[in-house]
Amino acid sequence: MSTPIDISETSGVRYLHFGSSWVQGAMRIARPWNLELEYTREMMASLLLHDEPRWPRKILLIGLGAASLTKFLYRHRPDSHLTVVEIEPAVVAVAQQYFKLPDDDRRIHLVIGCGADFMLGTDKKFDLILVDGFNEHAHPGELNTTPFYQACRSRLSDQGILAVNLIGVCKNALGGFRYIRAVFGERALLFPSCESGNTIAFAAEGDPVEIHLDDLKARAVALKEETGLNLLPTVTRLTQAKTCSNNTLTF
């Protein structure tokens, strides 16, 4: 990576930057397992989409950053196996040294390489695929293309969920979502933007997702009690946006 990797700290929070002030990841030093950035919490709304307590078992994360999502899932889904694909070896080293990335080869399989190439080359199936890969210009490159999302869909299990951070794709994220929609059709859903400006898209394969917002709220309460992660604001935004027909999240 020609762009330098920078670390900063403010008010007990350590930040990861790629040669600019734009934040690529963050960790509250006193609570390294928590999700500090709002969009990472939003991506974990995927955990509300299935009520099976041990789901997901097989997880793929494309883009490591400050390892926030990796650490959260490692801690709170102890039966899971995580494959993490990161294109830049220096990011892995920084995550290990400064952001407490666990050293556990049994449960965390680190792959140094391009996420798009990995998806096009693997034959493994995953219950959850999280895509959060950007360069220093907040551009996802090949990670936001029709062939990439076609590969993602083919690698999802029968209960598979894809979650994608679309910040930086275009001014309103709809440009990026069109590729996901082209591949997944009605099995794709764009959540209302969170306050940080990030927009998270979800897509599903196999079993239909159909959850009444009251049930989604109940799952959010249970997840908060289990992990400390509060996704009730996300459920509230979904309710206020009126994007769910008959108060039911369906895709």
The enclosing H or E element of 98 equals helix 89-98
- Is pTM beyond 0.75 here? yes
> Would 27 be classed as within a structural domain?
no
Please say if the pLDDT value at position 84 is more than 70.
yes
> Would 219 be classed as within a structural domain?
yes
pLDDT tens per residue across span 200-245: 999 999 988 999 999 999 999 999 999 999 999 999 988 887 778 8
> Would 16 be classed as within a structural domain?
no
> Would 25 be classed as within a structural domain?
no
Q: What is the pLDDT of residue 169?
A: 47
Please say if the pLDDT value at position 92 is more than 50.
yes
Give the confidence band of 2 by pLDDT, cuts at 50, 70, 90.
low
CA dihedral 64, 68, 71, 73 (to 10 degrees): -90
What's the rounded Cα separation, in Å, for the pair 223 and 159?
19
> Would 131 be classed as within a structural domain?
yes
pLDDT tens per residue across span 165-187: 987 544 445 567 999 999 999 99
pLDDT tens per residue across span 113-147: 999 999 999 999 999 999 998 655 556 678 989 99
Strands 156-165 and 126-131, by their bridges, are: parallel
Residue 197 is part of a domain; what is its CATH number? Answer: 3.40.50.150
**Mean pLDDT across the chain:** 91
What's the rounded Cα separation, in Å, for the pair 222 and 216?
10
